Amino acid sequence: RRMEFVTLPINVWLDTEFFSADWTIVLNSQKAFRVNSKVLARYSRYFYKLFASAIRTAQPAMTAVTYSDPLDFSNLMAYLHYIDEHRDSERVPTETNAADDSMNEQFLGSLMQDADLLKRRLSLAKHFEIPFLIDAIVSTAIKKLSPYNCWMVMTTAVDPECNCKLLYDFAKDFILEHFVAATEQPQFVKLCSGEQLCELIDSKYLNVPAEIVIFDVICRWIETEQLDRSKYFCDLVHRMRHFMITDTQLQEMSAHHLAQTAEWQSILSTCSSLGIVEQYNPATGLWRPRQNMLVTRVAASAASLNGMVYVCMGAWHSSMEQYDCQNDQWTLLTATLPVELVGFSRSRVGLRRLHCSASACIIAQQC
């Protein structure tokens, strides 16, 4: 039985009998494909969404159905038909047999090489509100994520037509874990936006061998494209973990031509004053300056032992200082601190507490 939707009266296709037989569907009088009646019946709500907009704009007794990609729609119907025939559940399991893999590959296999195809598939699934199909697309994308395609996936996931937060989060997590390899790809400078790069650098899960690597990535992202991205420079550098940058690296950063701005001096001042120590008195609510640490730029963690406070500077500075609370004096103990010793947290020394953060080491006087 054959029916062209371009001449189908509204009252006919709304009738439940419309879904009682096998059909050959013709879109735009050009593309034809067969759909099993069970598929039509089971997924009629998805068809309804497709036809609803056409009905609102058509003449009272007629409707014209159009779809931007009939071939995509045909593939979707074949996919739904396959699931209907082989699955009791609408969800596609993560572990599939060879036949399932073949069908998934036919509908989803080329997604990671073609941004337009990924966008069409996602928008199709979102348009028809098919959760299990969205899950299948996300699952396929996760398995095939690589430094080469991760930027395409993340950019597509935030497209208004797709808006798939789950896929975006997976792509972002992949980039955070493989940041160096991902930013070496040409797609990085073409597809990554300033807002996305800010979000990545802000993340505590960003995996880099050294913080200076982030600075190099920022400069390359700004300089490679013809677009004016220099406005992002200071904002991006502000988000770096300054306490993990050595003095030599800081000098190299300051010599870069992008750093020749007035705002850079503010960043430089912040980077150079991470060893400030203040004492707080809860009774008066006042802060009192104490002797600054000997190392001016620290990633400090603290511990106490025998009335003394010991502050570890972290692997990038490889040093430890001892603070004498009575005499307000710091002593540099070593310049070759093993990395294994840098895991302290806030600790109490008698009636005093030492708080160390990325920007300051704070001694709190308790009543």
Task: Name all domains of the chain by residue range, CATH numbers in brackets.
Answer: 193-272 (1.25.40.420), 277-365 (no CATH)
Query: Which of 202-211, 246-255, 345-354 is the most confident on average?
Result: 202-211
CA distance 107 to 363: 62
Q: Is the pLDDT of residue 361 over 60?
A: no
Average pLDDT, the chain: 66
Q: Is the pLDDT of residue 169 over 80?
A: yes
- pLDDT of 28 reads 45
Compute the average pLDDT of residues 163-180: 92
Task: Categorize the per-residue pLDDT at 266 as very low, low, confident or very high, splitting at 50, 70 and 90.
Answer: confident
CA distance 113 to 146: 11
- pLDDT of 12 reads 40
Percent of the chain with pLDDT over 90: 14
Compute the average pLDDT of residues 151-169: 88
Q: Is the pLDDT of residue 322 over 50?
A: yes
Does residue 97 or residue 9 have the better pLDDT? 97
- pLDDT of 285 reads 75
Task: Categorize the per-residue pLDDT at 324 as very low, low, confident or very high, splitting at 50, 70 and 90.
Answer: confident
- pLDDT of 73 reads 57
Compute the average pLDDT of residues 27-39: 50
- pLDDT of 307 reads 59
Q: Is the pLDDT of residue 357 over 60?
A: no
For residue range 98-120, list pLDDT tens digits in order. 445 555 555 666 666 677 778 87
Compute the average pLDDT of residues 122-150: 78
Does residue 40 or residue 284 have the better pLDDT? 284
For residue range 178-218, list pLDDT tens digits in order. 999 999 999 999 999 999 999 999 988 899 988 899 999 99
- pLDDT of 176 reads 94
Q: Is the pLDDT of residue 76 over 80?
A: no
